[in-house]
């Protein structure tokens, strides 16, 4: 199919849309499609998520907090977006935008909903006084990069990833358009990381946790099978940073939580205890009599 084969109608309708592989994950209206309460575990923090890059940000943050000795234990419940779990009445109550991840903080007098991955990272960083510098220059630089990621990733995920990997047809114009932008973003990161070990400076922060699941995993060859296409190895500083973060045990655990794809040993559909990583991964469950 050629790039000029589609003529938009005078008024777009959902019935005529070609949603492609992930058409079930979104719709043009908000609100719930069905009634279903969300489960609640025993820990103060209840996370409802899936191991997409946005979900991985938050599970990495929780695992890093626990590794640093903070009292941040959490339950992580699986939201299967391909099956419409994000449109349940329980989920839309805590995130009216029907996107993962979403968190309920039960540490206060009343449950507090926190949605948008950047907001969750910032909330946890401020709550525990961790992974966010206390000095003004360091804090501002960290938030610069946190919000850079929130604004930039739609070009990588919804733009490049969609048209390169998931769209029903391969169209050159959108692939070229978003490839150019993603490579520009990688160059931004590469230039900044030339003089510092982490994106906001000398310290590992929530900015790294936000950026790594997208751009780090991209250059490591884990997103869209696109590392060769993007010449990822040429971004040497980004690749070194990605490998540095990938080696962290808390990051390795965070990648496993709410994961439903890939190696069964890396899939922990739900996380309710630190011991689940040794006993409740899908390979262990499959091996049970």
Domain boundaries, the chain: 136-251
Closest CA to 213 of 178, 245, 179, 166: 245
pTM of the model: 0.96
What is the pLDDT averaged over residues 235-243?
98
Taking 90 as the threshold, does the pLDDT of residue 4 lie above it? no
CATH code: domain 136-251 is 1.20.1050.10
Cα 24 to chain centroid, rounded:
19
Q: Do 156 and 182 form a contact (C-beta atoms < 8 A)?
A: yes
pLDDT over 60 (residue 3): no
Range 242-264 average pLDDT:
98
* pLDDT value at 16 more than 80: no
Convert the pLDDT of each residue in 195-208 to its tens digit: 999 999 999 999 99
Alpha-carbon dihedral sign for residues 67, 73, 75, 81: negative
Share of the chain above pLDDT 70, in %: 97
| The predicted structure's pLDDT at residue 2 | 45
User: What pLDDT, on the 0 to 100 scale, is given for residue 1?
Assistant: 40
Alpha-carbon span 235 to 113, nearest angstrom:
38
Q: Exposed, middle or buried, 277 (CB in 10 Å: 0-12/13-18/19+)?
A: middle
Question: What's the pLDDT tens digit per position in 135-162?
Answer: 999 999 999 999 999 999 999 999 999 9
Q: Which residue, chain included where needed, has tokens 């794809």?
A: 261
Token digits of residue 121 = 């990272």
Q: How far is 211 from 152, CA to CA, in rounded Å?
A: 10
């Amino acid at each position: 199919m050629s790039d000029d084969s589609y003529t938009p109608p005078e008024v777009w309708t959902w019935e005529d849309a070609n949603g492609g592989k992930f058409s079930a994950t979104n719709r043009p209206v908000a609100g719930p499609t069905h009634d279903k309460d969300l489960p609640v575990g025993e820990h103060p923090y209840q996370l409802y998520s899936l191991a997409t890059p946005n979900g991985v940000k938050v599970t990495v943050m929780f695992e890093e907090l626990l590794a640093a000795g903070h009292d941040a234990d959490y339950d992580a419940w699986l939201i299967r977006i391909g099956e419409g779990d994000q449109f349940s009445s329980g989920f839309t109550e805590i995130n009216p935008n029907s996107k993962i991840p979403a968190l309920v903080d039960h540490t206060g007098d009343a449950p507090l909903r926190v949605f948008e991955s950047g907001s969750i990272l910032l909330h946890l960083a401020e709550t525990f006084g961790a992974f966010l510098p206390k000095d003004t220059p360091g804090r501002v630089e960290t938030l610069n990069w946190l919000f850079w990621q929130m604004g930039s990733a739609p070009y990588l995920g919804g733009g490049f990833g969609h048209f390169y990997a998931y769209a029903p047809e391969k169209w050159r114009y959108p692939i070229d358009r978003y490839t150019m932008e993603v490579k520009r973003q990688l160059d931004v990161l590469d230039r900044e990381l030339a003089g510092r070990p982490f994106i906001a400076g000398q310290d590992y922060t929530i900015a790294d946790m936000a950026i790594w699941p997208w751009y780090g995993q991209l250059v490591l060859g884990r997103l869209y099978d696109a590392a060769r296409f993007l010449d990822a190895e040429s971004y040497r500083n980004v690749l070194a940073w990605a490998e540095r973060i990938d080696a962290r045990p808390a990051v390795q655990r965070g990648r496993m939580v709410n994961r439903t794809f890939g190696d069964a040993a890396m899939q922990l559909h739900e996380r309710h205890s630190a011991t689940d990583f040794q006993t409740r991964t899908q390979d262990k469950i499959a091996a049970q009599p």
